[in-house]
Structure 1
Amino acid sequence: MCGIVASVSTRNIVPILVQGLQRLEYRGYDSCGVAIYADGLKRARSTSRVTELMEQVSSDKLESGTGIAHTRWATHGAPAVHNAHPHFSHGTGEAANKPGKVALVHNGIIENHDELRAALQAKGYVFSSQTDTEVIVHLMDSLYDGDLFEALKAATRQLHGAYAIAAFCKDEPHRVVGARAGSPLILGVGKDKTENFLASDAMALAGVTDQILYLEEGDLVDMQLGKYWVIDREHKAVQREVKTVQAHSGAAELGPYRHYMQKEIFEQPRAIGDTLEGITGITPELFGDEAFRVFKDIDSVLILACGTSYYSGCAAKYWLESIAGIPTQVEVASEYRYRTSVPNPRSLVVTITQSGETADTLAALRHAQSLGMTQTLTICNVSTSAMVRECKLAYITRAGVEIGVASTKAFTTQLAALFLLTLALAQSKGKLSDEEEATHLKAMRHLPAALQAVLALEPQVIAWAEDFAKMENALFLGRGLHYPIALEGALKLKEISYIHAEAYPAGELKHGPLALVTSAMPVVTVAPNDSLVEKLKSNMQEVRARGGVLYVLADADTKIASGDGLHVIRMPEHYGALSPLLHVVPLQLLAYHTAVARGTDVDKPRNLAKSVTVE
């Protein structure tokens, strides 16, 4: 979601700020802006892409050693220039329409903004936007008495909600202050010790500095030329460890591919290979030093996740119960903490998140912990994230940076990690024999080659996409372990092609969705050769009898042949328990090529953000 870059330096840092915004474009945004100190407050803002902002900055000759920049994903107020960050405070009284002292950017949501807005308006402050962010900048202006850091400390005491903040003041031109609560913010230490940076993501500072300090929940930071101070939520001075983080900018290069999503689909063999690299045996210690004890003590699993990560958890439920014999519950993280549930202190709470900063999942984790469920584990792609820091155990997937908003390689690497977790739990419960372990490990080592074979099916998928591009609705069917894969396939199609798509367990077809089936509503069916294939064939006949058109992903030995109204793509081989990792790939390709055919913005679909760091 929203991105922040800020700096105080002795050199012109405007190019670094704008370049940082470009590297954060993958998070999703609908406006962007930069503000600097240049004998006062100056800024450029745009509701177009960062490239247009660059043209404004060049035209206006904006240069400074102090500045803040932002990409905004609209929450309060429409995507419009007057709502774009950075925001300036305004004077009061006769100076109400002139810039005040403070410039500020903000990620998150301030829940008590209405109350604060009314109080500030009563003092004479004039608001020029509909954003909750403008409340913060006016509040800091009202509290300013010569020390910007003291104004920030006083302001954060009054803020309720989530925020990452970066701000500077025209009266203190070589100083930038920041704060975080519920939204990520990092500090980058400059290489030559004369500059410092703030950012919402280390990726924004790739090539600028690799010395990164991760601010903890409630921290505030005061940055000046060559020095910085951090205080905690109690306003006590603290030392946070500076880590060397290699956030290579090359990871964001498109290379020969047309879109990042296409690139990331084809990176999946490498991503799976990296995620499983070095694993020669199944052991609980793959998940942390305490895992052996924790796995022995738990008697159930609670999975918390959102979106695509939720669907990977749904697939894992089938594995955990059938292979490890452990009762498993999967909850939508954004709903979990708002209902009365029955806590089990012996449950292993598993969070799944690509970024490790997903606000809903973090909140769900903390809610579970507050209920006494302290045995926690995360499957995450970012080793330095808040989720990894807050969970007792972790498995870090190695998908690499995922730029496309619609997740692909993050999903399949999550599945690989969850299958490993299943085997480790099965072993700790005495339900995994040596022969079974060897069989599963052999199958996992074969995954990269198997994925390459599936990717070779792309030309056949493109032919399907030409049909789908003309449609406005689609139905996805799967049974058992492949129902979550049908859900993920439908999600991908709706996310980037804007075709309405929904998924059902195939056995539920006759309980409602069959009423929708016509020749204008294609039905995608995931048909591996498992114990449910004969029942799935019956469901397919129900579709054909109503004039529906079927698009079937079938294993070679399912004896499902193409015919009138029946289009079949044969998978190269049967993959058994790991088949979800392979069957999802043609569905990713189908969504991608359908979106390309319809001319949508594949990597930045409307209204969506990559990293959802607000509730």
Structure 2
Amino acid sequence: MCGIFGVLSADPAVPLMMDALGRLEYRGYDSVGLATVFEGKLSRRRAAGKLSALQKLLEREPLQGLSGIGHTRWATHGPPTIENSHPHVAGRVAVVHNGIIENHAILRAELSAAGVTFESATDTEVVAHLLNRELLVGATPHEAMALVMPRLIGAFAFVVLIAGEEDLLLAARKASPLAIGIGDGVAYVGSDAVALAPLTRRIIYLDDGDWAELLRSRISVFDCHGVAVSRPEYLSTVSSGMMGKGNFRHFMEKEIYDQPEAIAHTLHAVIDPGTWIAALPAPLDNVNAVSKITILAAGTSFYAALTARYWFESIGGVACEVDLSSEFRERKAVLPDEGVVIAVSQSGESLDTLLALRHGKSFYQKTLALVNVPESSIARESDAILLTRAGPEFGVASTKAFTAQLTALLGLAIAFGWARGNIKDCDALRLITALEGVPSRIARALKDVSKYQKIVHDLLRVRDVFYLGRGLSYPIALEGALKLKEITYIHAEGYAAGEMKHGPIALIDEHALVILVAPSDGLFGKIASNMSEVRARGGRVILLTDAKGAEELGTAADHLVVLPDIQPEVSPILYAIPVQLLAYLTAVEKGTDVDQPRNLAKSVTVE
């Protein structure tokens, strides 16, 4: 994630921006920068590293102005250099940005063909150049935004400052969060309410696809069609915990909606935008020498690891084994020479995974930590670290950390397979392009949750819930069952769909509900037979599928959730969303403690 802040103030902007960026530094600290408009001129200061580096620069080269934008960055497109630091400037336009412009490569090629020279490797810079191009041909800032916004595909938030416009900020969001703060003759905009907390309690949250014009005297909001709309004003609470939730009821809900942003940042921490292939970390860099990959994990991370086994074997072309951390030390595992152990943990502190990692090291395995916390114990004890960029996750039931893990693991498998020659260049490009499209598809899947309400009512009435999936959908079935158990306390089990007739089918009757995780991939025909088996025994069926699957089997299901079309290899990341929503909405309806379910802790640090 990255932190964004903008201000139209009556006082010098820089101290306000530095203070706000300090509150946002948890969102990124690879590089940092500011831009202001003073006497009509646009000026900026940028530094690689943390906020302290920018502070030292400003002491030598101060900035003046009452209007400004600032950014603290987790490197996504391009390494954390000054050239890639925000704000990015093109002519009169400065932009700070969070998320991903999915079609940046096409837009960059178009601009380059028109003679534009780029200074960075970021996707952000295309926004600055597109807006500046419209201004150069006579468009007003409002007209420029109205023309550029429909051209941008992805999950993003950005704020724009324009030379000669000391009473104007432009802001936009699509899937990534953005909050506007209203003051007395002043205006603010930030990545979340934490940045705005000491400045104002009056908050407007932009809807997905909205963009806004901020003046000191008024705020104007426009929807994705450029039509002026009214968005409600909220009075934020004093509680820092509540402010961390924004306008969501629970941390878990917020973190479900954070996923387009978390996935985009994780993806572009993994994928090199120049080559569109991941740089393999040290334990995997000698790809042809790797004899076997062993992935160790627990809980939700274990289901991410199970998914990765399919990817490493089918895409990476390498033998892969997945072990529950707590069981790995209890059996005499055979670990070959030149093997690699990958320890997967959101917190990096799960004791069973840490002990399993140490056990793997005793067999002279190279080790890689896939964690969300770089300073964690598992990270420190591994040969190399691959960071998910999900940001802090407060809900005990993991959501955005899980899909970030899936994103990182798939990116790794693609890079590994490409380096080994197991997949062709065109296949690697196809898969990376599909990954780039995941955030926007998740944003679409999150737009309307009303279709889940009837399903929730059924879930509250049944005795047993079974999640079924085949192939890559099988681990998502397991994860769906775990989520439902964790926060609703309803009995649920996940199964490989082909195993249904080997025992579990004995439990299917009118008191059972079966959830089929079924994108229309090569295994969809077999899922159809599972549906028939369930219906023949009186069980009710919820079908999670895409448009093609809905056309084939939708009328035979009791409930249907249609998700956007997506490449089959990438589908587990998208299909994690409905199983999370089903668990969350059912827990809310049931009245359980969603963020802190009974008997559970965020990180298990005892055996």
Partner of 2:544: 553
Partner of 1:371: 363
Instruction: Kindly provide the amino acid, as one letter, of the partner of residue 351 in structure 2.
Output: A
How many residues were matched structurally? 367
CA distance, structure 1, for counterparts of residue 471 and residue 503 of structure 2: 19
Q: Is the 8 A contact 2:283 2:367 kept in 1?
A: no
1:539 aligns with 2:539: no
Spell out, residue by residue over 1:159-183, the C-alpha distance to the aligned partner (whole angstroms, 9 max, x if none). xxxxxxxxxxxxxxxxxxxxxxxxx
Partner of 2:47: none
Please point out which of 286, 292, 295 is paired with 2:285: 292
Partner of 2:443: 452
Q: Deviation at 1:554?
A: 1.4
1:475 aligns with 2:445: no
Q: Decide which structure has the larger Cα Rg and report it.
A: 1
Spell out, residue by residue over 1:391-412, the C-alpha distance to the aligned partner (whole angstroms, 9 max, x if none). 1122100101000000000000
Q: Deviation at 1:372?
A: 2.2
Q: Deviation at 1:296?
A: 3.3
Instruction: Kindly provide the amino acid, as one letter, of the partner of residue 516 in structure 2.
Output: T
1:351 aligns with 2:347: no
1:435 aligns with 2:407: no
1:312 aligns with 2:304: yes
Partner of 2:558: 566
How is 1:358-397 mapped onto 2 (pairs within 5 angstroms)? 358-373=350-365, 375-397=366-388
Q: Deviation at 1:569?
A: 1.3
Partner of 2:325: 333
Please point out which of 400, 408, 414 is paired with 1:423: 414
Q: Deviation at 1:252?
A: 7.3
Instruction: Kindly provide the amino acid, as one letter, of the partner of residue 586 in structure 2.
Output: T
Partner of 1:591: 583
Q: Is the 8 A contact 2:283 2:340 kept in 1?
A: no
SS of 1:304's equivalent in the other structure is strand
Partner of 1:177: none
Q: Deviation at 1:524?
A: 0.3
SS of 1:343's equivalent in the other structure is coil
Partner of 1:400: 391
Instruction: Kindly provide the amino acid, as one letter, of the partner of residue 474 in structure 1.
Output: V
Q: Is the 8 A contact 2:263 2:407 kept in 1?
A: yes
Instruction: Kindly provide the amino acid, as one letter, of the partner of residue 438 in structure 1.
Output: L
SS of 1:276's equivalent in the other structure is helix
1:498 aligns with 2:489: yes
Q: Deviation at 1:251?
A: 10
SS of 1:569's equivalent in the other structure is strand
SS of 2:273's equivalent in the other structure is coil
Q: Deviation at 1:282?
A: 5.8
Instruction: Kindly provide the amino acid, as one letter, of the partner of residue 322 in structure 1.
Output: S
Q: Deviation at 1:547?
A: 0.7
Partner of 1:323: 315
The 10-residue stretch of structure 1 (280-289 or 601-610) with the greater mean CA deviation from structure 2:
280-289
Q: Deviation at 1:472?
A: 3.5
Instruction: Kindly provide the amino acid, as one letter, of the partner of residue 502 in structure 1.
Output: E
Please point out which of 248, 253, 258 is paired with 2:249: 258
1:519 aligns with 2:510: yes
Partner of 1:21: none
Instruction: Kindly provide the amino acid, as one letter, of the partner of residue 595 in structure 1.
Output: A
Alpha-carbon distance change, 282 to 427 in structure 1, aligned in 2, over 3 angstroms = farther
Q: Deviation at 1:513?
A: 0.7
Spell out, residue by residue over 1:82-137, the C-alpha distance to the aligned partner (whole angstroms, 9 max, x if none). xxxxxxxxxxxxxxxxxxxxxxxxxxxxxxxxxxxxxxxxxxxxxxxxxxxxxxxx
Instruction: Kindly provide the amino acid, as one letter, of the partner of residue 292 in structure 1.
Output: D
Instruction: Kindly provide the amino acid, as one letter, of the partner of residue 460 in structure 1.
Output: K
Alpha-carbon distance change, 388 to 597 in structure 1, aligned in 2, over 3 angstroms = same
Q: Is the 8 A contact 1:261 1:406 kept in 2?
A: yes
Q: Deviation at 1:290?
A: 6.1
Instruction: Kindly provide the amino acid, as one letter, of the partner of residue 406 in structure 1.
Output: A
SS of 2:552's equivalent in the other structure is coil
Alpha-carbon distance change, 285 to 459 in structure 1, aligned in 2, over 3 angstroms = closer
CA distance, structure 1, for counterparts of residue 358 and residue 572 of structure 2: 30
Q: Is the 8 A contact 2:291 2:336 kept in 1?
A: no
Alpha-carbon distance change, 284 to 441 in structure 1, aligned in 2, over 3 angstroms = closer
1:488 aligns with 2:482: no
Spell out, residue by residue over 1:531-576, the C-alpha distance to the aligned partner (whole angstroms, 9 max, x if none). 1111110111000100110000011112334447622111121332
Scaled by the length of structure 1, what TM-score is found?
Answer: 0.58
Q: Is the 8 A contact 1:265 1:408 kept in 2?
A: yes
Alpha-carbon distance change, 545 to 414 in structure 1, aligned in 2, over 3 angstroms = same
Please point out which of 261, 271, 280 is paired with 1:270: 261
Spell out, residue by residue over 1:338-358, the C-alpha distance to the aligned partner (whole angstroms, 9 max, x if none). 111212122111110000111
Alpha-carbon distance change, 457 to 315 in structure 1, aligned in 2, over 3 angstroms = farther
Spell out, residue by residue over 1:48-89, the C-alpha distance to the aligned partner (whole angstroms, 9 max, x if none). xxxxxxxxxxxxxxxxxxxxxxxxxxxxxxxxxxxxxxxxxx
Q: Deviation at 1:263?
A: 0.4
Q: Is the 8 A contact 1:478 1:526 kept in 2?
A: yes
Q: Is the 8 A contact 1:282 1:420 kept in 2?
A: no
SS of 1:345's equivalent in the other structure is coil
Unaligned runs of 5+ in 1: 1-206, 208-248
Q: Deviation at 1:303?
A: 0.5
Partner of 1:111: none
CA distance, structure 2, for counterparts of residue 321 and residue 583 of structure 1: 21
Alpha-carbon distance change, 251 to 581 in structure 1, aligned in 2, over 3 angstroms = farther
Identity of aligned residues (%): 45
CA distance, structure 2, for counterparts of residue 490 and residue 501 of structure 1: 5
CA distance, structure 2, for counterparts of residue 515 and residue 333 of structure 1: 31
CA distance, structure 1, for counterparts of residue 249 and residue 358 of structure 2: 40
SS of 1:522's equivalent in the other structure is strand
Q: Is the 8 A contact 1:324 1:429 kept in 2?
A: yes
CA distance, structure 1, for counterparts of residue 478 and residue 282 of structure 2: 35
Q: Is the 8 A contact 1:284 1:425 kept in 2?
A: no
Partner of 1:93: none
Please point out which of 564, 573, 581 is paired with 2:573: 581
Instruction: Kindly provide the amino acid, as one letter, of the partner of residue 260 in structure 1.
Output: F
Q: Deviation at 1:291?
A: 4.2
Instruction: Kindly provide the amino acid, as one letter, of the partner of residue 315 in structure 1.
Output: T
Alpha-carbon distance change, 287 to 323 in structure 1, aligned in 2, over 3 angstroms = closer
SS of 2:405's equivalent in the other structure is helix
Q: Is the 8 A contact 1:548 1:565 kept in 2?
A: no
Q: Deviation at 1:453?
A: 1.1
Q: Deviation at 1:457?
A: 4.0
Instruction: Kindly provide the amino acid, as one letter, of the partner of residue 290 in structure 2.
Output: I
Instruction: Kindly provide the amino acid, as one letter, of the partner of residue 393 in structure 1.
Output: A
Q: Deviation at 1:284?
A: 8.1
Partner of 2:596: 604
CA distance, structure 2, for counterparts of residue 283 and residue 438 of structure 1: 7
Instruction: Kindly provide the amino acid, as one letter, of the partner of residue 527 in structure 2.
Output: L
Q: Is the 8 A contact 1:457 1:586 kept in 2?
A: no
Instruction: Kindly provide the amino acid, as one letter, of the partner of residue 349 in structure 2.
Output: E
SS of 1:611's equivalent in the other structure is coil
1:414 aligns with 2:414: no
Partner of 2:214: none
Alpha-carbon distance change, 400 to 250 in structure 1, aligned in 2, over 3 angstroms = farther
Scaled by the length of structure 2, what TM-score is found?
Answer: 0.58
